[in-house]
């Protein structure tokens, strides 16, 4: 089914997902144990100095952990301190202003604390924690629209002590900061691509003439032009550095990655221009904003990318699996929404959309093939109490003409369009994830064939991950509901640029959403 609903986010609302905070119990380690994992343990004197220094919104956090530091190793700033400043100095890529977090002041405080002065260490500790709390709240603030189906998924204003408790549960503060552990892996990888976009571009005005295949070990004028086009130092040798840069370019454009510059690679390079490079950066920024809506990888959740027709699921701080899906057609789009998978239905019925009843089923009935032989049955209405009625009571000519709209459902079985299982997250649009007998569709590059629901390449594998067991019906009875003990968030997204191994994959904007979304961002 088509559907778009997306209520506007309130401007300026600082966000940190409730799910992100709720997931902290799943993280390994404890607050004090984490502090020692960085190397030498701080001394009690450091903790006492922090106790005297800390106040305001951070005091509850430090009191609960015995004033043990996040940033001090032994009696000196740990490497995580400078790592945070390194991140802060790049936050323009996130649409933020670095000066809000005072990176120069933080570097000065780090230098002052290197001598081991307890007061300087405590002052630095509090300053870094305050800066990180502000940074996380700002970085997680939504800027584009999505429909939240349940209030538990709505982003909320997180308090600094709640954010820092989440940080403290990481095995390593250094790794958490360097990897932006509070963000989705999709966001982090798109962010890296955007950071790399400018230096990667080289000189887009350079034209590399057609000619024989350029490969490592060769030299000459065309190699010199290729180096200039890809932003490498002057020279005419096709060395390993150039080979690596060519491979990176090929990967970013979806070309065969062989490190050699043939006709296809040169064509893609020569089509590049300053305008194209700017357009790709805009596309990366837009998809970065979409990825900002996702929780971190410690939150158990599912992500469906309707643009690329893929699905990922996350838990325990990492991607747990991926598969191909079939998403909605341009006419019956899979909407952007976030809900909670609450149960599975085994041996499901399929309520056939009225337009398909008119186009596909009614002509066959009128031609003499009964509804029952087609594997369907008719119901009295669309309520939960509907009764099965004889197909003979329906005006099938009226159905074909569009003046009669009966409720028809497909019976469970091997050919049922829902397959053996569907995963339900309550919504008014009738969107869900489900199995399918049409496995041939997953081999296609363009997989936009559904009426808005998401067909799964391997519903059994996703079910096993969700329920920690293989789902099997207890009998042949239809519509056997299996509740999840803990609902799992599912995000239906739309990424026209997304991570693909070590590069970015660009796909067609099949729903024509990018242009209006870019205009919306530009107007902010």
Q: Annotated catalytic sites, by residue?
A: 434, 453
Residue given tokens 């009295």 in the structure block: 380
Pairwise CA distance, residues 516 & 524, whole Å: 13
Q: How far apart are CA 177 and CA 171, in angstroms?
A: 11
3 state SS of 318 = strand
The closest of 452, 414, 410 to 435, measured between CA atoms, is 414
Q: Are strands 421-424 and 433-434 parallel, antiparallel or unpaired?
A: antiparallel
Number of residues that this document lists for the chain: 524
Contact at 8 Å (CB) between 492 and 336? yes
| Unique residue bearing structure tokens 């799943």 | 26
Task: Return the structure tokens found at 469.
Answer: 């067991």
The interaxial angle of helices 118-139 and 44-53, nearest 10 deg, is 60
- Quote the CA–CA distance of 110 and 169 in Å, as a whole number: 23
- Going from the C-alpha of 203 to that of each of 206, 226, 269, the distances in angstroms are 6, 10, 10
- Give the number of other CB atoms < 10 A from CB of residue 472: 12
User: What CA–CA distance (Å, rounded) separates 252 from 505?
Assistant: 6
- Residue 385, burial from CB neighbour count under 10 angstroms (0-12, 13-18, 19+): exposed
DSSP per residue, 16-66 = B-HHHHHGGGGSSS-HHHHHHTTSSPPPHHHHHHHHHH--GGGHHHHHHTT
How far is residue 147's CA from residue 154's CA, in Å, rounded to a whole number?
A: 9
One-character DSSP codes across 130-189 = HHHHHHHHHHT---S--EESSGGGS-B---HHHHHHHHHTSS-HHHHHHTTTTS-HHHHH
Give the residues across from 313 on adjacent strands.
302, 321
- Helix H or strand E segment including 463: helix 459-467
């Amino acid at each position: 089914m088509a559907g778009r609903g997306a209520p506007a986010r309130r401007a300026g609302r600082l966000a940190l997902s409730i799910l992100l905070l709720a997931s902290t119990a799943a993280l390994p380690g404890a607050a004090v144990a984490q502090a020692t994992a960085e190397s030498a343990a701080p001394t009690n004197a450091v903790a006492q100095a922090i106790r005297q220094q800390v106040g305001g919104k951070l005091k509850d956090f430090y009191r609960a952990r015995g004033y043990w530091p996040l940033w001090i190793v032994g009696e000196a700033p740990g490497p995580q301190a400078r790592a945070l400043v390194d991140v802060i100095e790049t936050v323009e890529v996130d649409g933020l202003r670095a000066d809000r977090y005072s990176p120069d002041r933080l570097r000065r405080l780090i230098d002052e604390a290197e001598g081991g002065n307890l007061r300087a260490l405590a002052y630095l500790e509090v300053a870094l924690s305050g800066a990180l709390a502000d940074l996380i709240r700002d970085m997680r603030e939504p800027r584009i629209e999505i429909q939240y189906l349940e209030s538990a998924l709505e982003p909320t204003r997180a308090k600094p002590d709640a954010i820092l408790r989440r940080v403290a549960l990481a095995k390593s503060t250094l790794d958490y900061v360097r990897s932006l552990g509070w963000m989705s892996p999709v966001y982090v990888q798109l962010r890296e691509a955007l950071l790399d976009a400018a230096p990667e571009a080289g000189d887009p005005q350079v034209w590399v003439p057609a000619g024989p295949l350029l490969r490592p070990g060769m030299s000459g004028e065309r190699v010199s032009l290729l180096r200039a086009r890809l932003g490498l130092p002057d020279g005419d040798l096709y060395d390993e550095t150039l080979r690596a840069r060519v491979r990176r370019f090929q990967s970013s454009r979806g070309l065969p990655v062989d490190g050699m510059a043939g006709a296809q690679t040169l064509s893609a390079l020569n089509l590049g221009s300053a305008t194209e490079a700017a357009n790709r950066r805009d596309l990366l920024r837009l998809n970065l904003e979409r990825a900002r809506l996702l929780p971190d990888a410690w939150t158990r959740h599912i992500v469906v990318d309707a643009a690329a027709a893929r699905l990922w699921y996350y838990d325990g701080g990492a991607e747990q699996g991926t598969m191909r899906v079939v998403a909605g057609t341009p006419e019956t789009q899979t909407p952007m929404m976030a809900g909670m998978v609450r149960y599975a239905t085994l041996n499901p019925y399929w309520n056939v959309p009225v337009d398909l009843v008119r186009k596909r089923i009614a002509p066959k009935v009128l031609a003499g093939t009964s509804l029952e032989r087609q594997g369907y049955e008719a119901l009295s209405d669309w309520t939960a109490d509907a009764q099965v009625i004889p197909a003979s009571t329906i005006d099938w000519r009226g159905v074909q003409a569009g003046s009669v709209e009966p409720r028809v459902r497909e019976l469970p079985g091997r050919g049922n369009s829902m397959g053996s299982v569907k995963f339900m997250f309550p919504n008014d649009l009738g969107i869900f994830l489900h199995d399918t007998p049409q496995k041939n569709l997953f081999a296609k590059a363009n997989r936009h064939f559904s009426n808005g629901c998401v067909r799964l390449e391997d519903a059994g594998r996703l079910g096993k991950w969700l329920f920690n067991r293989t789902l099997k019906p207890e009998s042949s009875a239809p519509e056997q509901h299996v509740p999840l003990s803990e609902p799992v968030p599912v995000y239906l997204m739309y990424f026209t640029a997304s991570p693909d191994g070590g590069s970015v994959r660009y796909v067609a904007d099949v729903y024509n959403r990018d242009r209006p979304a870019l205009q919306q961002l530009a107007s902010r």
